[in-house]
Structure 1
Amino acid sequence: MKGILLFGHGARNPAWALPFERIRQAILATDAAALVEPGFLELMRPTFAEGIDTLVGQGATEIVVVPIFVAGGGHVNKDLPPLADQAMTRHAGLIIRLAPPVGEAAPVLAAMADYALNVVPFE
């Protein structure tokens, strides 16, 4: 069974996680049976490991980690792969795939460009 982990950096302000919950709810609105959880690198819970553990507890045997980052950097390129490896070691038979950062996807870039053009009308 497939699961989705929405991976983010984390922040001290709890409101920072609200977009992750909105994304999660949008996924569930499309597919109510989807297994989708957030997982944060630091400062917030659930942690990456806790998010993975929750998905596995719900029956996930394959997890796609979706980095909710504008671009790949140290956290996506250096911190994330070892976290995925550790999770696969903890959960025998679990397969984790790492998606590119959401900000690198063409539809997301187009939506950001559209937003930038329309957020404040030119006069």
Structure 2
Amino acid sequence: MNTAQEREEPVVVTLTGCSSEDADAVFRALGRSYSSDRAAHETPRYVSEGHATVWTTTFDVARPRGTPEPVRLAAPVTAELQGGYWAVDRMAAALATSFDVRQEGMDAGDQEKDVQLHLESGVRP
């Protein structure tokens, strides 16, 4: 029987209400701990100025590869996590080591859940 650590455990992370620099800071913080579908050199950028932008990346939380560190954000970020219960909980815990996190909502299904988080700087001035 496979354990969660032996198979892929994807979590889709969607960021809204933030600058491309803050989106990059969040994705880089998570990338220190988990592999993702983003190339290491890839940075979020606006496709169309003046419109709401949503950035999405999928991370595999089954095999952590590093420890997250506190990260500074210029402004709060809204993050939505989607995936299996165990995987979303693990991702939320990783975010809590890098940022001040407040849960704003949660929807649960049979095998997946969707959590909405409010992220603020994990680094104090």
TM range, smaller chain = 0.3 to 0.5
TM-score by length of 2: 0.34
Bigger strand share: 2
TM-score by length of 1: 0.35
